Amino acid sequence: MDLNEYAVEMIAAQRLAELRERGARLALLATERRARRSLSRRVGVALIRVGHWLAQSPPARARNAGVRLVR
């Protein structure tokens, strides 16, 4: 089976168009995934920083909180 040059060029052009479309779709999905991860990371980092900021003030301490030590 022998194909002429024009037919081979058309088949190759269609295949390239399909691959480019698929690549664009995958890139868009990857961008969305990264955005979701980065949002959750930002929230997590913000919560950790708030926790550190709150922990800077010394907690109100009770002596052993009423627990008796046996020695």
SS3 content of the chain, % helix, strand, coil (to 5): 75, 0, 25
C-alpha–C-alpha distance, residues 19 and 32, integer Å: 20
For tokens 């109100």, the residue is: 60
For the full predicted model, state whether its pTM sits above 0.75: no
Q: Which tens digit of pLDDT belongs to each residue from 50-64?
A: 988 888 866 566 666
How many angstroms separate the CA atoms of 43 and 40, rounded?
A: 5
Copy the structure tokens of residue 45: 């980092």
pLDDT digits (tens, 9 = 90+) for 12-40: 999 999 999 999 999 998 887 776 667 88
Tokens linked to 56: 């800077």
